[in-house]
Amino acid sequence: MLVVSPDPPSNISNRTAGADAPFWLAAIADSSDDAIVAKDLDGVVTYWNKAAEVLFGYTFDEIVGRPITCILPSDRMNEEASILARVRRGEKTINFETERQRKDGLLIPVSLTISPIRDAENTIIGATKVARDLTERDGHAARLMETKAALLALQAETKVGASNLLAALGELASSQADAKNVKADLLTAVTALAASREETKTCIADLLMTETALALSRAETKSTESDLLVAVASLADAQANTDVGVVAMLASETALALSKADTKNSVADLLAAVTALAQAREETKIGLTDLLVAETLNASLARLSQHLAAARDRSERANRAKSGYIAGMSHELRTPLNSIIGYAHLLKIGGGLDHIQETRVDAMLASGKHLLEMIVSVLDLSEIEAEHIRLKAVDVDPKAVAASCLDFILPSAEEKGLTLTLATPPDVPVKIRVDPTRLRQLLLNLLGNAVKFTSRGGVTLHLRTVADGSLMRIDVADTGPGIPADQHELLFRAFSRLDIEATSRVEGAGLGLAISSRLATLMGGRLGHSDNPGGGSVFWLELPVNAIANSLSEPASSLASSANVKQLLHVLVVDDVFMNRDIAGAILRAGGHVVTSAEDGAQAVAVAASADFDVILMDVRMPVMDGLEATRRIRVLEGERGRVPIVAMTAQAFTDQIAECHKAGMNSHLAKPFDPDTLLAVVAKAKKIGMRRGESESLSCVGAQ
């Protein structure tokens, strides 16, 4: 397989860029009859050979730097996210048949082979795509169908020809019988002619005898003259009979000639029918050959489909095993971290610490928060690559989301003396349809990075529309040190840290921008970077105004955000780990609530059936009876006890795990580890859900984030 660098050599022509790739590699790519395209992990085109120009209608200068989605039909936009996910996993896609859209709008069938591109350290940095036009193959298939139809018609014609041949043979036999009859008539006519000639001779003899008698005696009486007249009449009759015989003979000869002509015509028809039959047989052989070729091709396609299905099954099994392993690791990391962060919070809440002790507790909390952020980032990236994330499309006010993100980041900016600015021109739409949680996550990551790497000046968040109002563009511009050009390609690569990060002592796993880029792609948009003309960097996000990809339409929640309910609540805390019960109980009691504890699901069901609670905090993984089964049993209790709000307080934080909690009957979800404010807010909101009877909301919180 030909692998093309995303940065082909510049010495081939002005069509390519980058001087590191060998001359012959780009020359081979440009001489290929197949379209060869290279793109980075964000789906942005970095190479485009001549065959791609011919196939898709875009020139090199028109397409490089633009997203590959510009050649995808509107109903196939989801394919790109799936393809990029496979590339990031190092998987190769072979002979994927689909459709692409030319620049002139024409849809063309293509077969795609996509392979990851790796750098010198064997890191995946992009992908090559070899596209083959299937228009001619589909035309062959259509012609094959036409040949089969013609074969069927030919077979029908062959049957008709055979019928005509049998009819011709019948006519020939009939003609031969007619010829025999004509010959018999001719023989009869000849016999009659011979008899007529004998009669003529007899009449002449009689005439001579009569003339002799007349010469001997002219004095015969009138009776003798009568006899002479009778003789003359007899002679006349004999001559007439002779003429009739001659005419009959001529008619017989004519009939015989016509019979011979008919026989010749029948033989000619027979030869023509035999010739047509031979030709039909040859055409039948050709049609059968085409049919055999088609059946062979179908058999090959069937075998290929079986191989592909087996490969897909193996891949799905591997993904399930990977997801199960990561889910287990997530639980095992979050559970002890909940104890570390929780007891550090309790030390701070309890007071009585001197300055040094308080400083050490703050350091514990900061380290715990950093570790939790790394865990969450790794799990987010894992879910995106496994295509487990489902976006929720709701109508969102982009100005309100931007303002709330700036309010959230304001304390960090004020610590460094930075100014935050929100620029919203009048043409910014009032609503866009997008997942508000993921949009907020993406903006907070960009704003957080801008504040982290900027030591003086400020950060500007600019909202505007582009592309005739069909796209919303959000710019995050800072006045920081900027990013060297030779490191731009590392920006959106997972686990990559730039030189500026190492020298500035900024902590991080190098996943924030990688996750943000993938989220932007899932939402049908793209994330990019450019240099700030005034110094620093600009990270920009473009999203469709009216739709997002891979989404589930869902109405916006009407519940208030996280205001505390100022009332005494009776809370049941269910967890098999003592430290988790101790931490949650201490925080709730400090907030003025009454707490009852249970060690497993079976105890929880018994306690919930015997007493009234305002909220139940339920762990999921427990011995004896897990939290999901306990919830299902509580939901069948009679009266208010069966409708008590239940919050999943668990280290299981994957999207499908949260969905299982809701399916079992839980109202919301709180991920471990959590901080005191988050726990109290979740309990207050859960009580509101109970007051609204029948409503539920996902309150998934990642405490220390």
Q: What is the pLDDT of residues 13-25, one digit of tens each?
A: 444 444 444 566 6
What is the distance between the alpha carbons of residues 9 and 148, in angstroms, rounded to a whole number?
50
Quick check: 241 pLDDT over 60? no
φ, ψ (nearest 5 deg) of residue 500: -65, -30
Model pLDDT for residues 389-442, shown as the tens digit of each residue? 667 778 889 999 999 889 888 988 999 999 999 998 888 888 888 888 788 888
Question: Are both 129 and 198 inside the same structural domain?
Answer: no
Q: Looking at the predicted structure, is the pLDDT value of residue 192 above 70? A: no
The most confident of 35-49, 221-235, 521-535, 564-578, by mean pLDDT? 35-49
Q: Region 99-106: what's the mean pLDDT?
A: 92
Among residues 428, 425, 427, 444, which one has the least CA distance to residue 396? 428
Provide the token pair at 407.
């309010």
- Is 10's pLDDT higher than 50? no
Q: What is the CATH number of the domain that holds 30?
A: 3.30.450.20
Q: Are residues 112 and 151 in the same domain?
A: no
The pLDDT value given to residue 307: 84
Percent share of the chain, pLDDT over 90: 28
Long-range contacts of residues 148-157, Cβ cutoff 8 Å, at least 24 apart: 148/287, 148/290, 148/291, 148/294, 150/287, 151/283, 151/284, 151/287, 151/288, 151/290, 151/291, 154/280, 154/283, 154/284, 154/287, 155/284, 157/280
Q: Which among 284-298, 499-513, 603-617 has the top mean pLDDT?
A: 603-617
Task: Enumerate helices (H) and strands (E) in the chain, giving the number of each.
Answer: 16, 19
Query: Is 355 within the bounds of a domain?
Result: no
pLDDT attached to residue 137? 80
pLDDT reading at 627 higher than 80:
yes
Do 295 and 203 fall within a single domain? yes
Q: Is residue 646 part of a domain?
A: yes
Same domain, 301 and 178: yes
Range of lowest pLDDT (47-56, 158-167, 298-307): 158-167
Q: Per the domain annotation, does 235 fall within a domain?
A: yes
Residue environment code for 497-518, b if the CB has 16+ CB neighbours within 10 A, otherwise e: ebebbeeeeeebbbbbbbbbbb
Residue bearing tokens 């003429």: 243
For 344-388, write each residue's pLDDT tens digit: 888 888 878 888 888 888 888 877 776 776 677 666 666 666 566
Residue 561 confidence (pLDDT): 39
pLDDT at 4 over 80: no
Does 617 lie in the same domain as 525?
Answer: no
Q: Which has the minimum average pLDDT: 261-265, 296-300, 414-418, 694-698?
A: 694-698
176 found inside a domain: yes
Residue 153 resides in a domain: yes
pLDDT digits (tens, 9 = 90+) for 633-682: 999 999 999 999 999 999 888 778 888 999 999 999 998 888 888 899 89
> pLDDT digits over 311-335, tens only?
888 877 776 676 666 666 667 777 7
Picking from 83, 110, 133, the residue at the C-terminal end of a domain is 133
pLDDT of the residue at 270: 56
pLDDT bucket at 114, cuts 50 / 70 / 90:
very high
Q: What is the pLDDT of residue 242?
A: 40
The 10s digit of each residue's pLDDT in 141-189 is 666 677 667 657 656 665 655 566 556 556 645 655 554 564 555 456 4
pLDDT at position 552 over 50: no
Residue that wins the pLDDT comparison between 611 and 161: 611
Indicate whether 535 pLDDT > 80.
Answer: yes
Same structural domain for residues 300 and 178?
yes
Q: Which of these three, 322, 347, 374, is where a domain ends?
A: 322
- Contact at 8 Å (CB) between 351 and 688? no
Give CA–CA dist 185/249, Å, rounded: 9
The pLDDT of residue 97: 93
Choose the weakest-confidence range: 32-41, 96-105, 551-560.
551-560
308 and 171: one domain?
yes
Amino acid found at 314: R
Domain co-membership, 518 together with 626: no
212-229: per-residue pLDDT in tens?
444 444 444 344 344 434
Q: Is the pLDDT of residue 604 over 80?
A: yes
CA proximity to 247, closest of 192, 174, 291, 294 = 192
- Sequential DSSP letters for 189-246: HHHHHHHHHHHHHHHHHHHHHHHHHHHH-TT--HHHHHHHHHHHHHHHHHHHHHHHHH
Between 136 and 270, name the one with better pLDDT: 136
The helix/strand/coil state of 72 is coil
Instruction: Please tell me whether residues 127 and 143 are part of one structural domain.
Output: no
- Domain with residue 317: its CATH number is 1.10.287
Is residue 420 domain-shared with residue 307, that is, in the same domain? Answer: no
Indicate whether 243 pLDDT > 70.
no
Here the tokens at position 163 are 């019928």
346 SS3 class: helix
Instruction: Name residue 79's amino acid.
Output: E
Structure tokens given for 483 = 């990013």
The span from the CA of 260 to the CA of 175, in Å, is 9
Whether residue 128 is predicted with pLDDT greater than 90 in this model: the reply is yes
- Quick check: is 420 in a domain? yes
Q: How confident is the model at residue 593 (pLDDT cuts 50, 70, 90)?
A: very high
Q: Tell whether the model's pLDDT for residue 235 goes beyond 50.
A: no
Q: Residues 402, 408, 414, 417: is their CA dihedral positive or negative?
A: negative
Query: Has residue 370 been placed in a domain?
Result: no
- For residue range 562-591, what is the model confidence (pLDDT) as tens digits? 344 457 899 999 999 999 999 999 999 988
From 282, 305, 322, the end of a domain falls on 322
Domain with 678 in it: what CATH number?
3.40.50.2300
Q: Does residue 496 or residue 522 have the better pLDDT?
A: 522
Residue 473, domain CATH? 3.30.565.10
DSSP bridge pairs for 463:
474
Domain identity same for 304 and 191: yes
What pLDDT is recorded for position 563?
40
Number of domains in the chain: 4
CB 567 within 8 A of CB 688: no
Largest CA distance in the chain: 195
What's the mean per-residue pLDDT of the chain? Answer: 75
Q: Which domain holds residue 40?
A: 23-133
pLDDT tens column, 378-390: 666 666 665 666 6
In a domain, 695, yes or no: yes
- The answer, yes or no, to whether residue 549 has pLDDT greater than 80, is no
Question: Are both 497 and 522 inside the same structural domain?
Answer: yes
